[in-house]
Structure 1
Amino acid sequence: MSTHFMGEGNIGSDPEVKMFSSNGNQPPRGVMRLNVRFDNPVPTDTGNVDKGGFWANVEIWHRDVEQWAQLYQKGMRVMVSGRMVLDEWQDNEGNSRSQFKVQAVRIGILPFRVAQVVLEPAQGQQTPRQPPSQQGAYSKSAGPDGEWDNPVSTDSDSLG
């Protein structure tokens, strides 16, 4: 049993990652698990009030989850899209247990509670080369005002 799910919430704990070795001709892949509290905001005269949110385990499968886990942290606001599935198992005493979880397709980081984002090349990778500027392309000026330069082309009859 599953159903489409899309929700916004806060991560409650740091991500957990588990990697699995390659299987035949498939590359290795892993799973990243997050515990997220999804809220139920209800608009009122004084603003939104949370009316009965819920906690859910969220998991996403991909070969790059080890790198992704470095981006996500406790307290971060995320938008999760995927499907809600019923997870069933036996506990140590042999009792049947079940719980809903979200199998995510996308986990987007929302700009709330993010102080800064710094992008650096991964270790062992070189910075990508800049493509050569093309005729007619606009480029950002390096001047203090940050104004846009005219196209690279020198034709005086560009609109004529």
Structure 2
Amino acid sequence: MERELYRKILVATDGSESARKAADTAIDLSRLSGAKIYAVYVVDRSVYSSVPEDPEWEEAMYVLFREMGEEAVSYVEKTAKNAGLQVESALLEGHPAEEIINFAEKNGMDLIIVGSLGKSGVERFLLGSVSEKVVRNAKIPVLVVHGKKQ
């Protein structure tokens, strides 16, 4: 039974286990609603831009993060296609929470799904939680899928 509640679902992924759980949840909701899934990975250049300039190292890090992103969205694409669902992916650059929200607004998303555990402890304190920033600033509903309890 398809419903019209969600037609476009954005799933933000960073390749972590919680992001995979978020993708699985997006796929389950898509099956129920007939929604198209949009898998988004954001390359955050600010993570390594504070290091003293070394163009070769910076390029190597950029390539590594893009490869990680391609792998992360590939999981969502393969899983969604295997379930017979429509899926599209995008690799973006910038601050993850801002880019996720901007993509959602520009593309008329109905729902954003994110995992809750990408960073923890000191990293979360220093950098902030992407999922928390998305929840606070998005103009559409956000579903946060919790990963493993630690």
Fold-level similarity (TM above 0.5): no
- What band does the TM-score fall into relative to the shorter chain? under 0.3
- What TM-score comes out, normalization by structure 2 length? 0.23
More helix per residue: 2
More strand per residue: 1
